[in-house]
């Protein structure tokens, strides 16, 4: 789906999280960044994915990773999702889809025979210098941390 490739410079994104705090690529210089895109807050697959990342958060921190979730949900929905499951990482409320489109994860999808536009569940691992190290498009929601921390 995405046109980004491993080795590309990550898009210079900027977006607000569930609390209105601004996050941009430059904020994560010197750290590895996991940017995970998910279709909708508080749905079964998205909850399983985010909870798996939460449950392995100490392992991510020990390996110098920061995590950032992104969906097109509003700040209120992201805040409710984050608080309900006690996520230790921010969730961008990308209602205008600027970050989603910068990473190229918005496009046609099929579900139960119906076609519609939506977010493709995709994770980007960005290295300390801001380059894409890995792209995971076949996300295993219940074992996503293991896919990243292999």
List pLDDT tens digits, range 81-112. Answer: 999 999 999 999 999 999 999 999 999 988 78
pLDDT at 148: 97
**Domains of the chain and any CATH numbers:** 14-148 (3.40.30.10)
Question: What does DSSP say about strands 122-126 and 132-136: parallel, antiparallel, or unpaired?
Answer: antiparallel
Please say whether the beta carbons of 137 and 1 come within 8 A: yes
pTM as predicted: 0.95
Give the list of residues 6+ apart from residue 28 with CB closer than 8 angstroms, or none: 66, 68, 126, 130
- Find tokens 């990482």 and name the residue: 89
Local mean pLDDT, 10-residue blocks, the chain (150 residues): 89 97 96 97 96 98 97 97 98 97 93 90 97 96 95
List, by residue number, the catalytic residues: 46
Which residues share a beta bridge with 117? 108
């Amino acid at each position: 789906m995405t046109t980004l490739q491993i080795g590309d410079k990550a898009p210079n994104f900027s977006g607000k999280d569930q609390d209105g705090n601004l996050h941009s690529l430059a904020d994560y210089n010197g750290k590895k960044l996991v940017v995970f895109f998910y279709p909708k807050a508080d749905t079964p697959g998205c909850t399983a994915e985010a909870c798996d990342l939460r449950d392995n958060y100490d392992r991510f921190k020990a390996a110098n990773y920061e995590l950032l979730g992104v969906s097109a949900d509003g700040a209120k929905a992201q805040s409710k999702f984050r608080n309900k499951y006690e996520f230790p990482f921010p969730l961008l409320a990308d209602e205008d889809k600027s970050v989603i489109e910068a990473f190229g994860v918005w496009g046609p999808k099929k579900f139960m025979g119906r076609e519609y536009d939506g977010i493709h569940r995709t994770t980007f691992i960005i290295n300390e210098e801001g380059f894409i190290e890995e792209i995971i498009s076949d996300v295993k929601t219940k074992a996503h941390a293991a896919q990243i921390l292999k």
